[in-house]
Copies of this chain bind each other. A is one copy, B any other.
Amino acid sequence: MKRRRPVASAAKARSPARADKLALGQLHKHLGYFLRRLQIWVFQDFIQTLGKMKVRPAQYSVLLIIEANPGRSQAAIGQTLGIERARLARLLHELERRKWINRRASGSDARSHCLHLTADGEKALVRIKSVATQHEARLADYVGAKRHMQLMDLLRDFG
């Protein structure tokens, strides 16, 4: 099996060759441990890939959800992504500061806001998605194309 490392060498220490490893003992029975290890690889690669644009994974997720569901509320987005209210508020504030999104007061409820991408946000997201696609290809290469597809099938119900 290929043991490709994330894009930058900073992540080196987290992807040791199997030969250097100790026995996992009972850890070998815990799915959460293996989920976490692969997820760390993914985040490292993703953060390094999108670091140039100063976009974090959670920001990217929120931009995609707003793109796919223009005009929806902060609450609906938070519920979809499982992001807590205070954290999402900070995240949206940052995206607004960069002029990538705007909030318009909802007609039905003055306290609620509809979220939209701005023209700048749409332009930025085109570039971000293109880099994210490269990241996904690296991940598919790391785990193998077939396993990538199988994992997707098995995990999609939980997102």
Which one, B22, B32, B40, contacts A46 given CB within 8 A? B32
Tally of A interface residues using CB under 8 Å: 62
CB within 8 Å for A16 and B79 given contacts A22-B69, A27-B61, A68-B25: yes
A16 to chain B, nearest CB (A): 5
- Closest residue of chain B to A41 (Cβ to Cβ) is B158
Question: Cβ of A151: which chain B residues have Cβ within 8 Å of it?
Answer: 31, 34-35, 151, 154-155
Question: Cβ of A39: which chain B residues have Cβ within 8 Å of it?
Answer: 32, 35-36, 39
A121 to chain B, nearest CB (A): 14
Question: Cβ of A159: which chain B residues have Cβ within 8 Å of it?
Answer: 24, 27-28, 33-34, 37
Are A68 and B32 neighbours in the complex by a CB distance under 8 Å?
no
Q: Is A82 an interface residue (CB 8 A)?
A: yes
Question: Cβ of A43: which chain B residues have Cβ within 8 Å of it?
Answer: 32, 36
Cα–Cα, bound, A67→B64 (Å):
44
Which one, B22, B32, B37, B76, contacts A72 given CB within 8 A? B22
Chain A interface (Cβ within 8 Å of chain B)? Answer: 1, 13-16, 20-43, 46, 57, 61, 64-65, 67-69, 72, 76-80, 82, 84, 129, 132, 136, 139-140, 143, 147-148, 150-152, 154-159
